[in-house]
Structure formats: C-alpha cells, structure tokens
Amino acid sequence: MFRLLGFLIGSLTSVLVILLIVGMPKIQLSDAEISQERYDAAIEKLRAKQLEIETVTGRLTEDVARVAENLDQDVEEFPVEFNPPANAPPLFAEEELNPPVVIDEVSAFAEELSWYSFWNPFRSEIAANGFVSQLEKVTGIDYRVVKVETGVYEVAFAYLDDAERKAKLEQISLATGLDLPDS
C-alpha cells in the first residue's frame, strides 16, 4: 500500500516539475479555416497531377497514331506478291507445308500415360508450384500440380509402366537426395 502511494506521489511530483520547467502546453482546437486551406491545397495538387497525366496521355496517343500511320505507309510500300526467280530453290519442301496428321498415335500415347504422386500433399498451390519448378530444374522431368481438394495439392509425374516409374523415382532421389518410397 505504501509502495503504491509512494509511486503515485512521485509520479504527480515529476509531472508538476516538468510542467513548471516547460510551461503549460497550448492546446488549440482544430480551426476550420486552416483545415479548409489544407483541403483546398490538396485538391489543387490533385488537379495539377490530373492535368499533367492528361497532357502526357494526349502526347502518347499522338505518338501512337503517328507510329501507326508510319507503319501503314511502310506496309503499302512493299509489293503484295512475291515472285521468286525461276532458278531459285523452293523455300519449303512439300512435306513441311502439309505435315502428316498423327492424332490417333498421340491420343493413344496420352491415354496410356499414368500419373504418380510421389510427395506429401501441399497446403497451397504456390508451394506446390515452387517445389515443381525446383524439381524440374534439378531433374529435367515434367511434373504437374494436381488439386485434390481445396487446400490439398499433390505433385505428380507421368509414366508408361512400372519400370519407368521406378527409374524416375530413382532419378529424383539421386538428384535431390530425397528419400522416396519405391526408389
């Protein structure tokens, strides 16, 4: 009790000594005229910036229009048809112009691919994508981030058969030092 009383008396005494030395502070309530002046000055600065942006934008649109006109004039100067000399070799072989379509083989290959999730699920897609980008740099294998549900993202790679899956797991383990099951 005496400690509390001593603390209060000491605090009150120190505040009174500070007020005697420094003097009583002058507290001014907010003046409406000063506030209005500050508000008007801020509005004027904003208007000046807006005018500056409008002039820069106007100059930019003029520059873009001028460049577009120059491009149109340059395009008109070139001939529409190109006739190579009669003795010139062909630019492209016939096979390059009309490549054979192999959609059936590609779709059959894509149907045979399986995806193997080899790491614990991540809670965010950003973390999973970061993990994938680092793995791709180190191993050179193509990975995908698969969203299982909200807040669950798995990292997986494609494989054709069990031997390829084990080989890729082995490659990941050797390149990263991670201890993966089945590797």
Q: What is the pLDDT of residues 73-118, one digit of tens each?
A: 655 555 555 565 666 666 555 555 555 554 454 455 555 788 888 8
If asked whether residues 77 and 108 sit together in one domain, one would say no
If asked whether residues 75 and 114 sit together in one domain, one would say no
User: What is the predicted pLDDT for the residue at 91?
Assistant: 55
- What CATH number is attached to the domain comprising 137? 3.30.70.1070
User: What is the predicted pLDDT for the residue at 106?
Assistant: 47
Q: What CA–CA distance (Å, rounded) separates 158 from 109?
A: 11
- On whether residue 160 sits in a domain, the answer given is yes
User: What is the predicted pLDDT for the residue at 8?
Assistant: 93
With beta carbons less than 8 A apart as the criterion, state whether 119 and 155 touch. Answer: yes
Q: What backbone phi and psi angles, to 5 degrees, belong to 115?
A: -115, 135
- On whether residue 122 sits in a domain, the answer given is yes
If asked whether residues 154 and 114 sit together in one domain, one would say yes
If asked whether residues 116 and 65 sit together in one domain, one would say no
Q: What CA–CA distance (Å, rounded) separates 183 from 157?
A: 14
Q: What CA–CA distance (Å, rounded) separates 60 from 52?
A: 12
Nearest to 113 by CA among 152, 153, 75, 142: 142
pLDDT: is 21 or 92 the higher one? Answer: 21
Q: Kindly report the pTM of this predicted structure.
A: 0.40
The model's pLDDT over 127-169, given as tens digits with 9 standing for 90+, comes to 999 999 888 888 888 899 988 888 899 999 888 888 888 888 8
Q: What CA–CA distance (Å, rounded) separates 34 from 108?
A: 78
In the chain, the number of structural domains is 2
pLDDT: is 104 or 174 the higher one? Answer: 174
Domain coverage including residue 132: 104-175
- On whether residue 161 sits in a domain, the answer given is yes
Q: Is the pLDDT of residue 56 over 70?
A: yes
The confidence band for 59, taking pLDDT boundaries of 50, 70 and 90, is confident
- On whether residue 121 sits in a domain, the answer given is yes
- On whether residue 157 sits in a domain, the answer given is yes
